[in-house]
Amino acid sequence: MWLLAPLPFLLHGLGMVADEAWFHRRRGLPIWERLGHPLDTLTVLACYWMALALPATRSGLIAYLAASAFSCVFITKDEWVHARHCTGGEMWLHAFLFVMHPLLLGLAGAWRFAPVIGALPEAAQAPDPAHAFFGTFLMGQTALVGAFLCYQLLYWNGPWKPALPATP
């Protein structure tokens, strides 16, 4: 399972690149998105960091679930405004990304907290190269999300930020 677990992350990443490179650059981002999108990314980064750093304990699991639930709800905050500014294609892509979001957080959480929820019997808790591979992948994913957060903050909010197109 852990060898295939990166696939949803890669699909989600392609969706994020399409959203950013095609839709956002084409229409520009108003201030609420220039600030809101980095905050969305920050909630994801916090969850990935927690999956990597928290101990695999019941309290760690509860904290992770709370942060993941918050992130899943928080990322939807702009959709009522997106409905006025986005094309149908961008709205579809957002729906795809929203569906993928809890899956990614669930995989990261399962990787860390499976022993706590009893998903692994004692015998299966021996070192597993595929499990270790996914941990390394998750570290790389966390670094990529952190880099994307820096990009969002600098590109869309720096002194060279692109001008907004005329609003219809």
SS3 for 57-97 is CHHHHHHHHHHHHHHHHHCCCCHHHHHHHCCHHHHHHHHHH
Task: Give pLDDT tens digits along the chain (168 positions).
Answer: 789 999 999 999 999 999 999 999 898 888 889 999 999 999 999 999 999 999 999 999 999 999 999 999 999 998 888 888 899 999 999 999 999 999 999 999 999 998 887 655 554 555 689 989 999 999 999 999 999 999 999 999 988 766 665 454
Specify the pLDDT at position 78: 87
Residue 79: inside a domain, yes or no?
A: yes
Residue 150: inside a domain, yes or no?
A: yes
Residue 123: inside a domain, yes or no?
A: no
Specify the pLDDT at position 123: 47
Dist CA 130 CA 18 (whole Å) = 29
Q: Name the residue with tokens 């904290």.
A: 63
Residue 164: inside a domain, yes or no?
A: no
Specify the pLDDT at position 96: 97
Specify the pLDDT at position 40: 97
Amino acid symbol at 156: W
Residue 18: inside a domain, yes or no?
A: no
Whole-number Cα distances in Å, 157 to 29, 66, 99, 150: 10, 30, 28, 10
Whole-number Cα distances in Å, 17 to 51, 54, 117: 24, 29, 34
Specify the pLDDT at position 120: 55
Domain count across the chain:
1
Residue 66: inside a domain, yes or no?
A: yes
Residue 44: inside a domain, yes or no?
A: yes
Q: Which domain holds residue 39?
A: 31-114+130-157
